[in-house]
Amino acid sequence: MASTKVSNRASGETETGDPSKGMITLASVRDALIRQEDTIVFSLIERARFPHNAPVYDPSFLGSGQSLVEFFVRESESLHAKAGRYQNPEEVPFFPDDLPLPLVPPCDYPEVLHPTSASVSVCEAIWNMYLNDLLPLITVKGDDGNYASTAAADLACLQALSRRIHYGKFVAEVKFRDAPQDYTPAIRTKDGDALMKLLTFERVEQMVKKRVEKKAMVFGQDVTLQDKGNKVEFTDGEIKCKVDPSVVCRLYDEWVMPMTKLVEVEYLLRRLD
């Protein structure tokens, strides 16, 4: 089992932790998830700059049976693997087979997660959700020919979503450490439904949905100024957002949080192996 450290809140220590030193706490995990919300919202805003651009997703477009977006992601992941990106346990590639070995010296990441965590991946579900469900909600129909830029924006969205959802491994780890007596019986009996109930906090989920909806509204506004001599004022007018805030709320409600909990359950089922 991996060597780990955890703060002891019962002894009066604060909820802080430094993952770089092998420590992890509920507060450090929560902070990471909140920062990742920003990344996801900004990546969706960037993707919404372009229309749907259907040829990017057409397997016949390149004549190889592989869509441009798949080609772009595969080639990008190959490059990132050479640079050592996937040595980081927070990063999970969409196409892990046949990735090249890193060209950089190995990074000594702290052993925070259980060694079996590497086998937990929901990348296929994220990929299908993004292409089939989310893209039609954040893009307008049309084709502007900016296929490479579109694929690059897709890559940023996919990586941000994957990192956020697979961070469920860290969520599960800190929850297990805080209350191993609550989770151990269900883990030993392989009761995924019981684990899902233990991991579900509806009040917290409602707060997260409201927060990401508000972020989409704030980050996605067009800010205009009116020059009045020596004074510059914001102009009044109807608020228009680059990405519909309700879609971001729905993204978290229907896909991000359920997939994250699925990752948590799959991780915990292996936690005592």
The 10s digit of each residue's pLDDT in 29-82 is 999 999 999 999 999 999 999 999 999 999 999 999 999 999 999 999 999 999
Containing H/E element for 234?
strand 231-234
Bridge partner list, 231: 228
Whole-number pLDDT of residue 70: 98
Bridge partner list, 234: 225
Q: Are 270 and 114 in contact (CB under 8 A)?
A: yes
The arithmetic mean of pLDDT across residues 153-163, rounded, is 98
Alpha-carbon distance values, 46 to 171, 202, 233 (Å)? 28, 30, 27
Whole-number pLDDT of residue 13: 32
Helix and strand numbers (H, E) in the chain are 11, 2
Whole-number pLDDT of residue 228: 62
Give all domains of the chain, ordered by start, each with its CATH number. Answer: 4-269 (1.10.590.10)
Whole-number pLDDT of residue 240: 84
Residue 10 has pLDDT above 50, yes or no: no
Whole-number pLDDT of residue 12: 31
Whole-number pLDDT of residue 8: 36
| CA proximity to 25, closest of 10, 48, 49, 5 | 5
Task: Pick left, alpha or beta for residue 50 (phi over 0 → left; psi -120 to 50 → alpha; otherwise beta).
Answer: beta
| CA proximity to 219, closest of 25, 38, 97 | 38
The arithmetic mean of pLDDT across residues 204-224, rounded, is 93
Question: pLDDT tens for residues 88-101?
Answer: 999 999 999 989 99
| CA proximity to 164, closest of 21, 23, 33, 8 | 33
Residue 234 has pLDDT above 60, yes or no: no
Q: Are 243 and 41 in contact (CB under 8 A)?
A: yes
Whole-number pLDDT of residue 15: 37
Residue 147 has pLDDT above 90, yes or no: yes
Confidence of residue 207 (pLDDT cuts 50, 70, 90): very high
Confidence of residue 4 (pLDDT cuts 50, 70, 90): very low
> Is 4 or 125 the better-scoring residue by pLDDT?
125
The arithmetic mean of pLDDT across residues 201-220, rounded, is 97
| CA proximity to 39, closest of 131, 123, 159, 121 | 159
| CA proximity to 263, closest of 113, 124, 121, 158 | 121
Whole-number pLDDT of residue 6: 40
Distance between start and end Cα atoms, the chain: 9
Question: pLDDT tens for residues 165-202?
Answer: 999 999 999 999 999 999 999 999 999 999 999 999 99
Confidence of residue 222 (pLDDT cuts 50, 70, 90): confident
Alpha-carbon distance values, 21 to 183, 211, 255 (Å)? 25, 30, 32
Whole-number pLDDT of residue 230: 60
